[in-house]
Structure 1
Amino acid sequence: MCGIAGLFIKDPKLEPRLGELLAKMTSTLCSRGPDSAGFAIYGNGAAGQTKLTISGSTAEVDIARAAKLLVEAIGGGQVSVRHSHAVVTVKTEDVPRAEAWLAKNLPDVTIMSEGQRLEIYKEVGFPDDVAREFDIAKMSGTHGISHTRMATESAVTTNGAHPFSTATDQCLVHNGSLSNHASLRRELRREGIKIRTENDTEVAAGYLTRQMKNGQTLSEALKSSLDDLDGFFTFVVGTETGFGVLRDPIACKPAVMAETDEYVAFGSEYKTLTCLPGIKTARVWEPKPATVYFWEHA
C-alpha cells in the first residue's frame, strides 16, 4: 500500500525547512510502503540552465564517473553527487545532446528528471534510510512530493520507484492501481512519450504530458484523466511553480489535506501532517472525489 506526502510552501521563510518537513512527513508512512521511496524537490534554478538528475539502473554504475564523462562529452556543466544520483546542470540548449549521448554511450544511466528547478531522488530501501542517504532533510525549496511504495505493478527497482517525470519540471506520484495502463502505455510510446518502466504510475505521468502537449492545461489534463484512466487513484502532481491533487470518483484511497498561511500539505494519513508548524490551527479537510485542487506561485 503506497503512501504519499506533499508540501507546498506559501511563506518563503519556511523554504529552508522544506526537506526537513517532507522527510518527517514521509517517515510516518514507512509502514505503508517499505520497499522503496522517492522525493521530488523544487529548489533553486537559473534561467537558461537545466538540471538532469541521473542514476544508474544497477548498483554497479559509478554515477560520479558517468556525470563527469557526460560533462566532458558536451563541453561543460556542473555536477553535484548525492548518494546514488547526480545532478548535472547544463545549458538548456545542450539537453538534447546530453540525452542522446547518454542513450548511446551509457545506456545503464537513467535520467530521473529534467528541469530548471526539479530534482528527483529515489531508491530501493526503507523510506527513512532513503531520506537519510540523500540527505533530504537539508534541502530547501518551494514545494516537494514524496512517496513510499509497496510494489504492485512492477519490480522493486530504483527506476520503478516514484515519483515519475515525463516532462520538464513536472512529476507525479500515485496511490492506487490503473487497469488500462498496458494499452495506454503502448499508445503513449507510439506517440513518442518516453515510458521506461512497467509501472502504471509512469503511464499516468505520460498521459498528462501527452494531454498538455495537445494543448490542455494541467488542470484540464487531470480532469480528462477521470474519463481516460480506469482504476482507482490519488494523484499528487508537481510542476515548476505548482502543486496539484486529484482523487478518482470513488476516492477509495485515503487522503487528507491541511492549509495555513504558510503552506498547503497533503498526506495519506492525518499523522503525516502532525509534524507541521501550526497544524493545530490549520484548516484540515478530505479532498473531494473527482475534484482538481491546484496551488501555484505567481
Structure 2
Amino acid sequence: MCGIVGLFIKDPALEPRLGELLARMLGVMSDRGPDSAGFAVYGGGRPGFVKLSLRAAAGVDPDRLEAGLRGIAGAEVAIALRDTHLIVEVPVAAEAAVRAALAADHPEITVVGSGARMEIYKEVGLPAAVADRFGLAAMTGSHGIGHTRMATESAVTTNGAHPFSTGRDQCLVHNGSLSNHNALRRELARGGVQFETENDSEVAAGYLTSRLAKGEALGDALKAALGDLDGFFTFVVGTENGFGVLRDPIACKPAVMAETEAYVAFGSEFRALAGLPGIETARVFEPEPATVYFWERAA
C-alpha cells in the first residue's frame, strides 16, 4: 500500500502555491506510506541548461564540488543545497562530462533525475518530515507529483523511494505491483535504458522513457503500457510540459481526481484533495480503468 498525489496547475496565478498545496497533499497520505516519501516539482529553468538532481552522502562539501564542476562546465554552473540533495544546473553541452566526473570522483553521489525544469527529492521518513526537510512548501512551479511508500516487498531505503526517473524531465510514481518487470528490465537494458535499483516502478519509468525516445507522445506511450505491462498499477507521470494518469484494466488500487479551471489534482484518496482551493465546486471523479488521462501546458 502506497499513497500517490499529483497537481497540475492550469491557472498561472496558482503556480506560487504549487509546493504548499503538494506538501499538504503528501502529508495527508502518510498513513498509506509512512516509511519514505518523494516528490518531483516542475519549476523554472534556463534555456540551454539542464538540472541534475543529486542525492549526496553526509559530508559532501558543496563549495568544493561546485569549484570542481566549474572547471569542467564553466563559470555558469549553479548548485543549490537542500538537505541531502543538490540541484546542479549546467550547460546541456557539458552534461555528459559532468556525469562522468561525478561517477569517477564522487561515488557517494547518486543522480536521481535530470531535466530542464524537473527537480526530484526523496528520503526515508514520514512524508510530512521529508517535505519539510527539502522545503517543498516554498517551491513554485506548474506541476508536481509525490509518493508515500509502505515497503511491503523490499527494504526501507531511499533507493526504493519514488519518484523514479529514467529520462530527461520525465518521472513516475506507482501504486501497485508489476509481474513482468524482470523480463521487461532485461529487454529495456538491451535497448540502452539504465536502471539504478531493482524496483519494478523504475522499470515502468524506463518503459515510458523508451517509448518517448522514439518520438511517441506521453498519451500514446501510456496506452501502449496497457498491453506491455502486466500486473496491477496506478501511474501518475510527469514530463516537462505534461501530467498523465493511468490505471490498469482491473483498477483495484484506489484513485480519485478533481478538476477545476485552475488545476487538475490526483490523490489515492479524496482526503488528499479536500484542502485544495475551490474543491467544493470541482468536478470530482474516479479515473476509469485502462483509460489515459493527460494534460499538457503550452511549451
Contiguous gaps of at least 5 residues in structure 2: none
Superposed CA deviations along residues 99-133 of structure 1, whole A, max 9, x for unmatched, are 11112221221111111100001011111110000
- Match runs of 1:51-66 below 5 Å: 51-56=51-56, 59-60=57-58, 62=60, 64=62, 65-66=64-65
Amino acid at match of 1:156: V
CA contact (8 A) 2:233 2:253 kept: yes
CA contact (8 A) 1:11 1:262 kept: yes
TM-superposed CA distance for 1:155, in Å, is 2.7
CA contact (8 A) 1:8 1:143 kept: yes
DSSP 3-state at the match of 1:198: coil
Equivalent residue, structure 2, for 1:22: 22
1:183 aligned onto 2:194? no
Equivalent residue, structure 2, for 1:251: 251
Amino acid at match of 1:105: D
DSSP 3-state at the match of 1:87: strand
TM-superposed CA distance for 1:50, in Å, is 0.7
CA contact (8 A) 2:6 2:236 kept: yes
CA contact (8 A) 1:48 1:91 kept: yes
TM-score by length of 2: 0.96
TM-superposed CA distance for 1:233, in Å, is 0.2
Amino acid at match of 2:107: P
CA distance in 1, matches of 2:61, 2:211: 33
DSSP 3-state at the match of 2:221: helix
CA distance in 1, matches of 2:11, 2:283: 16
Amino acid at match of 1:74: A
Amino acid at match of 1:245: V
CA distance in 2, matches of 1:108, 1:19: 28
- Match runs of 1:127-276 below 5 Å: 127-276=127-276
Equivalent residue, structure 2, for 1:84: 84
TM-superposed CA distance for 1:191, in Å, is 1.5
CA contact (8 A) 2:36 2:148 kept: yes
Change (3 A) 1:137 1:4: same
Amino acid at match of 2:68: L
TM-superposed CA distance for 1:182, in Å, is 1.3
TM-superposed CA distance for 1:259, in Å, is 0.5
TM-superposed CA distance for 1:60, in Å, is 3.5
CA contact (8 A) 1:39 1:144 kept: yes
DSSP 3-state at the match of 1:159: coil
CA distance in 2, matches of 1:79, 1:93: 17
Superposed CA deviations along residues 146-198 of structure 1, whole A, max 9, x for unmatched, are 00001144432222210011111111000000011112112212211011001
Superposed CA deviations along residues 251-292 of structure 1, whole A, max 9, x for unmatched, are 000000000011000000000001100001100000000000
Change (3 A) 1:154 1:133: same
DSSP 3-state at the match of 1:189: helix
Give the paired residue count. 296
DSSP 3-state at the match of 1:227: helix
TM-score by length of 1: 0.96
CA contact (8 A) 1:5 1:268 kept: yes
CA distance in 1, matches of 2:156, 2:111: 18
Equivalent residue, structure 2, for 1:112: 112
| Percent identical residues | 63
CA distance in 1, matches of 2:204, 2:153: 13
DSSP 3-state at the match of 1:204: helix
CA distance in 1, matches of 2:72, 2:199: 32
CA distance in 2, matches of 1:154, 1:184: 19
- Match runs of 1:286-297 below 5 Å: 286-297=286-297
CA distance in 1, matches of 2:48, 2:193: 24
DSSP 3-state at the match of 1:114: strand
CA contact (8 A) 2:46 2:116 kept: yes
1:70 aligned onto 2:69? yes
Question: Which deviates more, 283-292 or 159-168?
Answer: 159-168
CA distance in 2, matches of 1:203, 1:92: 26
CA contact (8 A) 2:243 2:294 kept: yes
